[in-house]
Amino acid sequence: MSMFLLGLSILPTVILGSYIYSNDKIEKEPVPLLVKLMASGVLAVILTLILTNILSSIAPFFDAENLENFNSISLAVYVFIGIALIEEFSKWFFTYLISWKDKAFNHVYDAIVYSVFVSLGFATIENILYVFGSENILSAVGTALVRMIFSVPGHAFFGVIMGYYLGLAKLTSINHIKDKSERYLFFSILLPTIGHFIFDYLLMSSSTLSLLLFLAFTIGLFIFSYLKVKRMSKIPTLLFNEPNKTDYLYNAFGGNNPPKKYCTNCGHLLVGPYCSNCGKKN
The answer to whether position 258 is within a domain reads no
In Å, how far are 40, 51, 72, 162 from 46, measured between CA atoms?
10, 9, 29, 20
| Residue 264 domain-assigned (yes or no) | no
Please say if the pLDDT value at position 187 is more than 80: yes
Percent of the chain topping pLDDT 70: 84
Question: Which pLDDT value is given to residue 239?
Answer: 45
Q: Is residue 282 part of a domain?
A: no
Angle between helices 2-22 and 108-132 (to 10 degrees): 170
Q: Is residue 93 part of a domain?
A: yes
First CA to last CA across the chain, in angstroms? 63
Q: For residue 144, how many C-alpha atoms fall within 13 Å in the half-sphere facing its CB? A: 24
pLDDT at 157 over 90: yes
Between CA 53 and CA 174 the distance in angstroms is 37
Confidence of residue 69 (pLDDT cuts 50, 70, 90): confident
Q: Tens digit of pLDDT for each residue in 189-229?
A: 999 999 999 999 999 987 899 999 999 999 999 999 999 99
Would you say residue 45 lies in a domain? yes
Its domain, for residue 65, covers 2-243
Domain assignment of residue 249, yes or no: no
105-120 pLDDT tens trace: 988 899 999 999 999 9
- The pLDDT confidence band at residue 171, using thresholds 50, 70 and 90, is confident
CA dist., res. 17 & res. 15, Å (int):
6
In-domain check, residue 106: yes
Cβ proximity of 86 and 92 under 8 Å: no
CB 270 within 8 A of CB 248: no
Number of domains in the chain: 1
- For residue 265, is it within any domain? no
